[in-house]
A and B are shown apart, each in its own frame.
Chain A
Amino acid sequence: MKASRTGPAVIVLLGALYFVLPLVATFEFSLSMLRSIWSFEAYRVVFADPQFRTTFSFSVIAALATIVLGALLVVPTAYWVRLRFAKLRPLVEFITLLPLVIPPIVLVFGYIRLYNSSSWLPFTNSAGGTNLLLVFGYVVLSLPYMFRAVDTGMAAIDIRTLTEAAESLGAKRSTILFRVILPNVRAAVLSGAFLTFAIVIGEFVLASLLNRPAFGPYLALIGANRAYEPAALAMIAFAITWACMGLLQVFASGPPGRPRSGRSLFKLARRAAR
């Protein structure tokens, strides 16, 4: 029964090496733009690049739009399913898990074919329309995480009683939703939001094939043409992801009764930009 501890220690050490080395290497590379000295020159170049700013802000806005739209879509749905349509739950859950099965490239291919200029909903005819389509696509990508977070958050509060209490006080259903339920699942929505943000910021396939000036294609472009800036960009991307995950943890473990939304989101949380 006295298994030695050296085996496990070696494994963890090797694992740590494998996972930390690329981070160290990237950071070192990003500092090496100027010969023989370490500097933040690569970062300076990146931040000074107007394209960086436009694409990054485009993606940030897209992410925010995705979060808002996603929340508006998911919260009522989770609410109704819990409250009145429990029989539909398996179907709804299946739908929310489909985005994890269907590769995003297949999805965007479908969009291009279905919503091009000759279709009845010609999204791709205009920049605005394509942007909308892009956001819809992002909402689909974030659907599993958003739904899971909100659903878990709702499981922790007794929405049936809250609803009945509000109804007895004369509130309409929409009022109930926005002024009673939503505030109580705010933390859950926020944890879903951070994951969504991390997904959208670096997303490549949708943005690239829909030809939108997002951060993902910008990263690909820089990677193809420059040597040191990609490393700096990678560090920035890592920092953002870390920040999102960290904030997710904060909100997931915050209020009592919602200890699991963070954990289970972590488990889902690798399907982001593959």
Chain B
Amino acid sequence: MSFLEIRGVSKSFGQNTVVSDFSLDVAKGEFVSFLGPSGCGKTTMLRMIAGFETPSAGRIVIDGEDVTALAPNRRRIGMVFQAYALFPNLSVADNVAFGLKVAGRSKPQISARVEEMLTLIGLPHLGDRYPYQLSGGQQQRVALARALAPSPRVLLLDEPLSALDAKIRLSLREEIRALQRELGITTIFVTHDQEEALSMSDRIVVMSEGRIEQCDAPFAIYNRPRSRFVAGFVGTLSRVEGIVAPDRSVTVEGCPIILAEPPRAAAGTPLTLALRPEAMRLEPSADRINRLVAIVEDAHFLGSVVRLKLNVAGGTVLADTFNRPTTPPPARGAWVDLHFSPADVFALEADEATSSKTAEPA
């Protein structure tokens, strides 16, 4: 039996259904991210696990205990908020001690645990400071320590890094993951940033409009997206238009493109193909049997990566190639050949090609 079970949970506010039929099993110690655009229901789902919202239908079970109707202060979970939510009138040490004080632990127990937590987050000497004296990153670490101090069963994080600068975000990301591994605590992490989700999670739940689109390991989410939405939301996709040929290849501007999975549509129907930038190469090779002709619109030299913006059959395709000291990037307006293998291209159904992410450089 899994540690955290969510069964058929739905939530509606009046006529508005925010989460529908959400089911998930989370193993003990697993790090799962809820990923999706704003309004997809990920935060609402998290708040239902925390107990701030009651599901309209379904059950939530933590470690065998049905907590669906249980008040938040009895669920023994930890939560970290986007806006840190540190108590301004309490020092750092008192903030971290809060959950323990409420639980009635003894003073020596509390101070020992507080010290332990402060050392864990790398701020052992800031116990007497007040939140307004700390930077954003420090405050969030204290918030983490506060949430973990009472040894909760599940850790919930609601976009904890969104309010921080990019640099702090990166370092804190790693810290959180390292901490989570060390403590082995079951964690749910809500974010709209796919890079965060991809780099930190054991599994990602991609959500859209209240539903689970796909729940898989990051590698699978990225490379084997099971719906147009996931394909468009996670990673960058370039799109080209083609027509299905009788031999199940797809003709794009006269070039035959072979797909690893032959398209299901009938011959003659238009089809949109999706291409990942990192799969494109300017040189041919044995497995890269597909070829497209393109004009270079722009070449961004980013150091180790050269990002090309190409015009293919009227559409834009992005290609990320590695820097080669011997080969300078192509000039604007130059004609190039794009080579990629059948495994790197897949079909999008024609009417859902208008997905959220377009092929623009990040």
Contact = CB atoms under 8 A, between A and B. Distances in A.
Chain B: interface size category: under 10
A4 to B, nearest CB: 15
4 contacts: A1-B51, A1-B52, A1-B71, A1-B72
B70 to A, nearest CB: 12
Contacts of B72: 1
Interface in A1-45: 1
| In the complex, the 4 A-B pairs of residues with the closest C-beta atoms, listed nearest first | A1-B52, A1-B72, A1-B71, A1-B51
Interface in B20-74: 51-52, 71-72
Nearest to B51: A1
Nearest to B73: A1
A90 B71 CA distance: 50
Contacts of A1: 51-52, 71-72
Interface of A: 1
Interface in B71-104: 71-72
Contacts of B52: 1
A1 B71 CA distance: 8
B318 to A, nearest CB: 44
Contacts of B51: 1
A52 B174 CA distance: 80
Interface of B: 51-52, 71-72
A224 B19 CA distance: 69
A1 B47 CA distance: 13
Nearest to B54: A2
Nearest to B72: A1
A1 B52 CA distance: 7
A1 B51 CA distance: 9
B75 to A, nearest CB: 12
A1 to B, nearest CB: 7
Contacts of B71: 1
A1 B53 CA distance: 9
A224 B51 CA distance: 63
A1 B12 CA distance: 18
Nearest to B52: A1
A1 B72 CA distance: 8
A66 B272 CA distance: 77
A135 to B, nearest CB: 47
A212 to B, nearest CB: 51
A38 B217 CA distance: 82
Nearest to B71: A1
A83 B51 CA distance: 54
A233 to B, nearest CB: 49
B42 to A, nearest CB: 20
A150 B51 CA distance: 49
A68 B52 CA distance: 56
B65 to A, nearest CB: 19
A3 to B, nearest CB: 12
A128 B194 CA distance: 79
A64 B51 CA distance: 60
Nearest to B53: A1
A227 to B, nearest CB: 54
A241 B189 CA distance: 56
A94 to B, nearest CB: 27
B51 to A, nearest CB: 8
A206 B71 CA distance: 60
A151 B216 CA distance: 60
B147 to A, nearest CB: 18
B4 to A, nearest CB: 21
B348 to A, nearest CB: 43
B11 to A, nearest CB: 15
B71 to A, nearest CB: 7
A147 B168 CA distance: 45
B95 to A, nearest CB: 21
A151 to B, nearest CB: 28
B102 to A, nearest CB: 16
A1 B54 CA distance: 11
A114 B252 CA distance: 98
A213 to B, nearest CB: 55
A79 B72 CA distance: 55
B198 to A, nearest CB: 34
